[in-house]
Structure formats: structure tokens, C-alpha cells
Amino acid sequence: MSGSMSGPPMAAMNTALPTMQRAILDDPLTGEIARVAVVTFSDSASCVLTLSDMAHARMPALSPQGGTNFAEGFRVAREALVDGIGGLGRGVRYHRPVVFFLSDGQHNAGKDWKGDFDRLRSREDKYGAEVVSFGFGQANREAIAQVSTQHAFFATDVDPAVAVKEILNTVLLSIKTTSGSFQAGGAAGLSVPQSTGLTPLPVHEN
């Protein structure tokens, strides 16, 4: 939600979120299993959509704010998972959560982000998440690669509005294919379809 997202990139985000919601609802299998939350971050972070069934969610309208603080984003993302999964009720089965991280800039806060990132992805934590990262615009490719557990990408199109659309389309396809693998009862797990509009980044084993 940094100031650099002003204009077409933010407009593309606000168009893509309800489009994603409709696409999930149009696919009964995905709608049955997928639960989605939205966390925004700039200088601080906020959970603007708690972990929700898309049939009952109201997508937020986003607006640009200040700088770029990865640490706050990771901290609040974990809180959203803890609160959202805990709210499902005792005995409810859930799969390992996935955080899709998007940034067009570089971390510019005083606090280092790595501790909060490690807590978000910890395998020793029942809320520990897989993290798929996407960079575009002025984002640092090396940092985007580090902010991931298996998959990291950088948008090839220099137009940030086009990049946002491509990234969120890939997020949607990942939600649908991953949900489908769980429904099929096979070797379920995170699936991130390849896109010609995104360049895979080398990810070191985290």
C-alpha cells in the first residue's frame, strides 16, 4: 500500500479483488474449500478482510498510504492466520495456509523483517505458512526471492497496472488448482501455475 501504488496500480488491485471473488464463487469446488484474507502494509499493516468464505465476504476498497515495511506485513499476516484459523472452531481440519506476498518497492523501515518472516513460515508452528512472493516496479529481486518458501516471481511487464493484473490472475489460478488438488484426494499441495508474464526467481532453500 505504499505511495508508489497510486493511480493505475491501485485501480487494478481494486478491480481484481472482486473479480477474484466472483471467479472463486463460480467454481463450487474452490468456493467450498478456499478461505481468503487480505492484509495490507505500508509503514504499518492491517487485516482489511479477515479469513473468509468468499460467499460471505465484502472485498475492501484499497488506497495508497506511506512507505514499505515488510516486517509489519508479516506480523499482521500471521495474526490474521492465527485469528482466522482459530475462528474455524475446534476439530475443523485445515491445510497448510499460503500467503501470497506482493510488493512494488523495497523494505525501508528500521526494523529488520527476517524475524517476523521466519515466524510466519515456521514449520514448527501449526499456523506456519507457505509464502509465494511477487515483485514488480521498483521491488528488489533478491529480496523478493528471499521472501518466499518455494516460489518467487517478478513481473515482466514494466506497466505496474498490467503487472498487478498478471500477478493476481496467477494467485487466483493457484488458489483454484491447489484447492482442486485437495478435493481430488491425491498428492495435495501448493500449486503455482507458470505464467509468461512472470519470471521465476531463484529461491534458496529456507
If you average pLDDT over every residue of the chain, what do you get?
Answer: 93
Q: What is the pLDDT of residues 6-37, one digit of tens each?
A: 999 999 999 999 999 999 999 998 999 899 99
Per-residue model confidence (pLDDT) at position 188? 63
Measured CA to CA in angstroms, residue 8 lies from 158, 160, 194, 201 at distances of 13, 7, 25, 25
Measured CA to CA in angstroms, residue 70 lies from 26, 42, 75, 153, 171 at distances of 33, 8, 9, 17, 19
Per-residue model confidence (pLDDT) at position 184? 62
CA gap 127, 106 in Å, rounded: 26
Per-residue model confidence (pLDDT) at position 196? 94
Q: pLDDT grade, residue 137 (50/70/90)?
A: very high
Instruction: Indicate the domain borders of the chain.
Output: 3-200
Q: What is the pLDDT of residues 160-197, one digit of tens each?
A: 999 999 999 999 999 999 988 776 665 567 999 999 99
CA gap 16, 36 in Å, rounded: 14
Render 126-175 in DSSP notation, one character per residue: TT--EEEEEE-TT--HHHHHHS-SSEEEEES-S-HHHHHHHHHHHHHHHH
CATH of domain 3-200: 3.40.50.410
The grid coordinates of residue 40 equal 495490507
